[in-house]
Amino acid sequence: MLLLIVWIVVVVLALVVLGAIGFGVLGAAGRLGRELAAAERDVRPLIQQAQATAARASSTDRTDSPA
């Protein structure tokens, strides 16, 4: 009888530990998603500026090159 109680306690503790680990992993995944979205928002203007500069340089090269 005592062995059954010990096994029940072990299983319950294992479930609690696994639940805490799962909660931590899911929380970290959520934070990572938010950080990636914020980084994308921060970098988007720089990407647009680089694309506009590349487009301007490309159009300048085509108009200035001798045919």
Which residues lie below 8 Å from residue 7, measured CB to CB, with a gap of 6+? none
Specify the DSSP class assigned to residue 54. H
Whole-angstrom Cα distance, residue 61 to residue 65? 6
pTM over 0.85: no
Alpha helix ranges (H) inside the chain: 2-64
What integer pLDDT is reported at residue 43 of this predicted model? Answer: 96
- 3 state SS of 35: helix
pLDDT at res. 59: 87
**Confidence at residue 60, expressed as pLDDT on a 0 to 100 scale:** 79
Which of 44, 37, 16 has the alpha carbon at shortest distance from 29? 37
Instruction: Dig out the tokens for 3 from the structure.
Output: 């062995």
Residues lower than pLDDT 50 in the chain: none
